[in-house]
Chains A and B, each alone.
Chain A
Amino acid sequence: MITTNGDQHMYNPMEFMVICAARLLEDGRTAAVGTGVPCAAAMQAQRTTAPNLMVCFEAGGVAPQLPTMPISVGDSRTFYRGLMATSMCEIMETCQRGMMDYTFLGGAQIDAYGNLNSSMIGDDYARPKVRFPGSGGANDLASLCWRTLVVTVHDSRRFVEKVDFLTTPGFLDGPGAREEAGLLPGTGPYRVITDLAVMGYHDETKRMQVLSLHPGVTLDQVHENTGFELAVADGLTETDPPGEEELRILREEVDPNGYVIGR
């Protein structure tokens, strides 16, 4: 799908997702990211609205000056000209102490409360129908960082009423559930960025709600591609289309080889 925003800036959904995600990151904050879209979003933010965003990788890379997109969360790009090359415990414990503002995650399934599944499909844990990698660091980051952002393609097989396996905590089964489970106060899901919309969570119900629709996307389209009842925020807006400069930076500086935006 190629979209035009009326200003004749053509862009693809992946490019828009990276740009939307980047805009959500405040300057001077810290973010634990993985490879792919999250990493591209952090690099984009550093080159646009958040030059002082500090990026960490869970395997131990602190504040690299990323020369190119890493392939692995632990490859040498993740600490290239960094400030520290350390350990997984050090990064996770920085999160646990309350110094990591954002984390960026994905998953095979997400539900209305922002819970993620990256472990398995099926109902027998010992004999999964489809086995996926598991938590990796996702559960830890969503438990320990202040705000969890999710970037994913929007379709009803991913956006499900109930995840087959709750790998990584969102708001669990609703208001008060994180606190009840013993997760740290003040942490939790923040935004979901897809190729159709940007979503947040209702303050009281803790259910996902649409905050802004991407240009040309209708609410019906979003509902059709969501497998649960998705609320709509008061004051629903349209997502600002990508600007010319945002696209130039993304294509020329962040991902010139198209590792992420070429997908």
Chain B
Amino acid sequence: MDTHEQGSGQIFSDPSTTAARAWFQQKSRAMTDKVMTVAEAVGKLVDDGDYVAVGGFGGDRIPTSVLHEILRQEKQDLGLSGHTATHDFQVLCAGNQMGRGQTISRVDIAYVIGLEARGLSAQARRVMESGEVVFTEWTNYTLALRFRAAAMGVPFLPGHTALGTDTMRHSAARKISCPFTGEPLVAVPALYPDVAVIHVHESDPSGNCRIEGIAVADLDVARAARKLIITCERLIDNDEIRSNPTRTAIPFYCVDAVCEVPGGSYPGNMPYEYYSDEEHLQQWLNAERDLDEYRRFLDHHIYGVSSFEEYLERSGGRERMPELRRLEFLEDE
């Protein structure tokens, strides 16, 4: 296959099928009880230097508790896929601004820094403008396609997007011709994250998971990840899974840890559970205007607490949960 053009960006993870298969060959198939605390899961499964993928859509069905724990355990030198990364990116970037080393050192960018309609994260922007983070440019679909390639166990996939743009020029994609029709295509390399973190509605103790609402790219992210941490709103029995296997979105053999974290997507939205806490997300954005104030804010909400449950107390999330549920279900007070 001829390559016509090639993006100048770095590939931060090995796209080779052979390397991935060697890993998955030794990955446990045992259907054991994988329930543990978030602190245990992060301690065991997130290593310095790992490339991390975060499930959900920035502020929707995100594994907030794990992101906080990554900061508390001061994990260093992480790579990240910025696949509409909004509040999740804001949290991880905060780790770079605390004077406690460098949480993030490389990013595949499709969408970062912004919090969609809410505005831009001032500190995440500082981190990305500082020169201390290396990045490669992508799009939401090309990143999703990269996860899909990995989930399929092939080293690349083609698409008809991104051609002719600076986005492509600063990506690591290549322009190729279809071997059958000769049509021009973009080829994107498989993306196997070292560790992925996904928040779901329900999981059994071994990691058979159910997701309600949109899956975004998570079915592929779960399968592409070398290590996978699941946080869930509720633990359910394995019998319940077996009563309706059609609903299983992620099978246990992809999963390494299961953590029960009710309210775990807070302050993000969790479909059919609770809406996003816009007031608290605004507090984050406000605190970011001044670095000292931001550090105090982070000390209070993340570094100064021992668990996500305490964050829910301090942020007012626990108290607001009934209201966020009413918002989610569009009920009047």
Measuring CB to CB, which residues of chain A are less than 8 angstroms from any residue of chain B? 35-36, 58-61, 67-68, 71-76, 78-80, 85-89, 92, 96, 115, 119, 125-140, 143-144, 165-169, 172, 177-178, 180-184, 259
Asked if A92 and B141 sit within 8 Å, CB to CB, the answer is: yes
Asked if B144 and A88 sit within 8 Å, CB to CB, the answer is: yes
Cβ contacts under 8 Å, B117 to chain A: 35-36, 71-72, 259
Asked if A126 and B217 sit within 8 Å, CB to CB, the answer is: no
Distance to closest chain A CB from B115 (angstroms) = 9
Asked if A59 and B57 sit within 8 Å, CB to CB, the answer is: yes
The total of Cβ contacts below 8 Å across the A-B interface reads 199
Question: For residue B85, which residue of chain A has the nearest CB?
Answer: A133
State which of B84, B110, B142, B278 has its C-beta within 8 Å of the C-beta of A73. Answer: B84
Measuring CB to CB, which residues of chain B are less than 8 angstroms from any residue of chain A? 56-61, 82, 84, 86, 109-114, 116-118, 120, 125, 128-129, 131, 134, 137-142, 144-145, 148, 159-167, 170, 175, 183-186, 212-220, 269, 271-272, 275-276, 278, 328, 330
Asked if A133 and B165 sit within 8 Å, CB to CB, the answer is: no
State which of B82, B161, B162, B214 has its C-beta within 8 Å of the C-beta of A85. Answer: B214
Known contacts A59-B216, A89-B145, A119-B167; decide if A139 and B161 are in contact (CB<8 Å).
yes
Distance to closest chain A CB from B97 (angstroms) = 15
Known contacts A61-B214, A74-B60; decide if A144 and B129 are in contact (CB<8 Å).
no
A contact patch SS: loop
Distance to closest chain A CB from B19 (angstroms) = 24
Instruction: Please measure, in the bound complex, the distance between the C-alpha atom of A178 and the C-alpha atom of B162, giving whole angstroms.
Output: 11
State which of A68, A72, A134, A138 has its C-beta within 8 Å of the C-beta of B330. Answer: A68
- Given A134-B111, A184-B160, 7 more A-B residue pairs with CB atoms under 8 Å apart are A71-B276, A92-B140, A96-B159, A137-B110, A139-B161, A167-B167, A183-B160
Instruction: Please measure, in the bound complex, the distance between the C-alpha atom of A135 and the C-alpha atom of B215, giving whole angstroms.
Output: 21
Instruction: Please measure, in the bound complex, the distance between the C-alpha atom of A207 and the C-alpha atom of B72, giving whole angstroms.
Output: 53
Asked if B111 and A133 sit within 8 Å, CB to CB, the answer is: yes
Cβ contacts under 8 Å, B185 to chain A: 182
Asked if A133 and B142 sit within 8 Å, CB to CB, the answer is: no
Instruction: Please measure, in the bound complex, the distance between the C-alpha atom of A119 and the C-alpha atom of B159, giving whole angstroms.
Output: 21
Cβ contacts under 8 Å, B184 to chain A: 181-182
State which of A58, A119, A259 has its C-beta within 8 Å of the C-beta of B140. Answer: A58
Distance to closest chain A CB from B58 (angstroms) = 7
Asked if B114 and A132 sit within 8 Å, CB to CB, the answer is: yes
Distance to closest chain B CB from A221 (angstroms) = 29
Cβ contacts under 8 Å, B163 to chain A: 143, 169, 181-183
Asked if B220 and A89 sit within 8 Å, CB to CB, the answer is: yes
Q: List 5 A-B contacts (CB under 8 A).
A: A89-B145, A92-B161, A131-B129, A132-B120, A138-B139
Instruction: Please measure, in the bound complex, the distance between the C-alpha atom of A118 and the C-alpha atom of B131, giving whole angstroms.
Output: 19
Asked if A87 and B219 sit within 8 Å, CB to CB, the answer is: yes
Instruction: Please measure, in the bound complex, the distance between the C-alpha atom of A68 and the C-alpha atom of B330, giving whole angstroms.
Output: 9
Distance to closest chain B CB from A250 (angstroms) = 18
Question: For residue A130, which residue of chain B has the nearest CB?
Answer: B129
Instruction: Please measure, in the bound complex, the distance between the C-alpha atom of A59 and the C-alpha atom of B219, giving whole angstroms.
Output: 13
